[in-house]
Structure formats: structure tokens, C-alpha cells
Amino acid sequence: MLPPVRLICEAAELAARRHLGQQRKGRGDEPYINHLAEVANLLAVATDGADAELVGAGWLHDTIEDTETTRKELAGKFGERVASLVAEVTDDMNLPKARRRQKQIEDAPHKSPGAKLIKIADKISNIRARIVTRPNKKQRDDLADYVAFSKKVVAGCRGANASLDAEFDKVVKAASRVL
């Protein structure tokens, strides 16, 4: 088992290398790593820094889904809990988008407490990225669609962490001001 600070730093480094060159949806040409940093930070704040494995999983939460990274590789490097959390929040990219979304909604109430926190933090970050000054119609429609979807996922995750629940409500309120 890696010491906590080392686990988080090595997770961040692996995430950065695996997502190199990827761009985030939403705000301009923002590097994808910014999303992973935001999710990890939301988890660190929500747990007051007490759960390095959760924060590490936050850094890595999209690596299986978006890169060639495997669950086995993550387990070998970061331990079974980190690998399990990442695998638990990984979408099956072979499914059509509508089915992936429906599956997220259906599966949310059955996730482990840590996976629920990652899901909420991920939705917060993704909504924040879609909130832009003076959005055009396409941006407003995308934001409205994503907020409606996220509310359904987060409904199944609520109660795992009061501060993340409150932060989600805050970002939804911010989104409603531009819709």
C-alpha cells in the first residue's frame, strides 16, 4: 500500500499521462486534466483529506473509460479499493449514450458510498464546465439536458456526503441562472 500523499501524487501523474492531449467539453480548450483535478479536489474537501484512496480514485475515475488503462493495472499500482471505485464508476462505452445515461440513473442507488461521492463530484465538475457567460442556444440546451440528467443520477447518490450534496445543489442553482 502506498503512503497517502504518494498514492494521490502517483494517481495524478498517471491520470495526466493517460489523458494527455484530451480536451474537456465545455469551457473552451481546457485540458481534460483540469476536470480530474477538480473531481479529486471536491473529494478531498468533502472528506477533509481523510481518504487518500478516494481522492486517488477521483484522479483516475475516467482512465478505464477513456484510455487503455485496465482495472488490473490500477489494482496493481494503487490497490484493490482504488481499482474497484474506478471500475464502479466506469461507463460501458460500447453502449449507446442514451443507454449509458439510463444505466447511470438506475445503478446510482446501488453504488458503494465512495462511488456515490465520485459520481456527485463528477456531475458537479461537468455542470460547472457547461456554465458559460452569455451561452448560445446550443450551450443552453446542452446545459439544461446535462443538469436534468445529473439530477436523476445524483438523486440516487444523495446522503453519502452532506457537503457534496450541498455543492451539487449550489451548482444546479448557478446553472439555472443562465438557462
Catalytic residue among 10, 66, 73, 165: 66
Nine-digit cell string for 103:
444505466
Residues ≥6 apart with Cβ < 8 Å to 22 = 31, 32, 66
Catalytic residue among 29, 38, 65, 68: 65
Catalytic site includes residue 62:
no
Q: Which residue has the cell 484522479?
A: 59
Three-state DSSP at 157 gives coil
Three-state DSSP at 62 gives coil
Catalytic site includes residue 66:
yes
C-alpha–C-alpha distance, residues 96 and 107, integer Å: 16
- DSSP H stretches of helix in the chain: 4-18, 33-46, 52-60, 63-66, 71-78, 80-88, 97-107, 113-130, 137-155, 162-178
Active site (catalytic) residues: 65-66
